[in-house]
Amino acid sequence: MKFQVLTLVGHAPHPVTGELGPAADRLAEAVETGVSAEELGFDAYAVGERHAGPFLSSSPGVLLGALAARTSRIRLLTGVTVVAILDPVRVAEEYATLDQLSRGRIELVVGKGAEMGHFDLFGLDEGLQWDYQAEKYELLRRLWREENVTWEGKFRPPLHEATTLPRPYGDRPPRVWHGSATSLNSPELAAKHGDPLFSANAIQPREAYARLIDHYRERFAAYGHDPSGAYVGAGSGGLFIADTTQLAVQRFKEYYEAKVRQTHKPHLEGRPGYNTPFRTIEEAIADGPHLIGSPQQIIDKILGYHAAYRHDLQSITVDGSGLEPAAQREQLQWFAEEIAPVVRREAPTSLWEQPAS
């Protein structure tokens, strides 16, 4: 298995103390965490994209550009690029530029986004979100694979013999994953094009995500693609390691449960993917996707998810844990030294052993 660190660059008051630091410090912390991830041997670092809610990740390309300059090995991903609200021509240009700057280390995870507010912000009809997603992704795909593209669709002006510059690094388009949280639309689109799938695995029960992944693999084969190329990534609800589960509960319970209350969205009650059913830390440890507990307990949980998902890439996040940057790095180091080696050995993968097609 490969391992990724993800940041959504959240910027909400601390749910227990109410403290809120400067935006500049928070953005600098996101870059430093990516540098630490490379130093500690993680395979990838991802920056989310949000245009609604208390997040500073509205311009992930800027942060990834800073990371491209500060790193040399680690793969740099988005998580996700909200292609449904963006102009595919601009996406092609921006991320090909980053691909050149990083010398081929950029990969996109595309999706329609986890916040509904961005459709209103960009003057778009939320009811057309999946139509936007399919059309815009398919145009992006052509722009990275072809020159002199002539195209016409529903949601942007036609193109006539358009060639976006720069071209991707090495004339090979960056790998594109499809973020999947609640709907069969993203797994279907990923399968159609033979692309990898990235399961949110963030707040719902395991069975909800397994259903989407199973659909993806079934349709991937039905479209005639080699099943060995059906790579899957999976997120996690967050990371908090302690020597024992009891210590993890003792140290993290107040923060976790206050965070659940802070992020609860009453207006979206009943819609999957927006409110966690795991309201207590004990529920999150027992049945939720959070990685909380001793190193062995976290190893067992990741391998349990692997048994259900057969995933190749595990994503973790520490910047939603309420910890200071130094303590976040300690968590990442603990994970890298005691958890990752065991899971790598028990769940091998060919991901990133060969270039993307």
Contacts of 347 (CB under 8 A, 6+ apart): 1, 302, 303, 306
* Proportion of the chain in helix, strand, coil states, percent, rounded to 5: 45, 15, 40
Q: Using 50, 70 and 90 to split pLDDT, how confident is the model at 270? A: confident
- How many angstroms separate the CA atoms of 2 and 246, rounded? 28
- How many angstroms separate the CA atoms of 184 and 193, rounded? 15
Q: What is the pLDDT of residue 277?
A: 87
pLDDT exceeds 80 at position 68: yes
pLDDT exceeds 90 at position 88: yes
pLDDT exceeds 90 at position 39: yes
pLDDT exceeds 90 at position 263: no
Q: Using 50, 70 and 90 to split pLDDT, how confident is the model at 252? A: very high
pLDDT exceeds 60 at position 246: yes
Q: Using 50, 70 and 90 to split pLDDT, how confident is the model at 273? A: confident
Q: What is the pLDDT of residue 141?
A: 98
pLDDT exceeds 60 at position 356: no
- How many angstroms separate the CA atoms of 63 and 57, rounded? 8
Tell me the pairing of strands 232-234 and 197-199.
Answer: parallel
pLDDT exceeds 80 at position 116: no
Mean local confidence (pLDDT), 297-310: 97
Mean local confidence (pLDDT), 134-155: 98
Q: What is the pLDDT of residue 80?
A: 94
pLDDT exceeds 60 at position 162: yes
Kindly list the distances between the CA atom of residue 12 and the CA atoms of 17, 55, 156, 218, in Å, as whole numbers in the listed order: 11, 7, 35, 40
pLDDT exceeds 90 at position 271: no
pLDDT exceeds 70 at position 202: yes
Domains of the chain and CATH, by start: 2-346 (3.20.20.30)
Most confident of 93-107, 111-125, 274-288, 343-357: 93-107
- How many angstroms separate the CA atoms of 187 and 185, rounded? 6
13-32 confidence digits (pLDDT tens): 999 999 999 999 999 999 99
Q: What is the pLDDT of residue 294?
A: 97
Mean local confidence (pLDDT), 152-179: 97
Q: What is the pLDDT of residue 355?
A: 59
**DSSP, res 182:** S
Percent of the chain with pLDDT over 90: 88
Q: Say if pTM beats, i.e. exceeds, 0.85.
A: yes
Mean pLDDT is lowest, of 18-32, 82-96, 253-267, 296-310, for 253-267
Mean local confidence (pLDDT), 252-273: 85
Q: What is the pLDDT of residue 42?
A: 98
pLDDT exceeds 70 at position 187: yes
Q: Which residues pair with 78 in a beta bridge?
A: 47
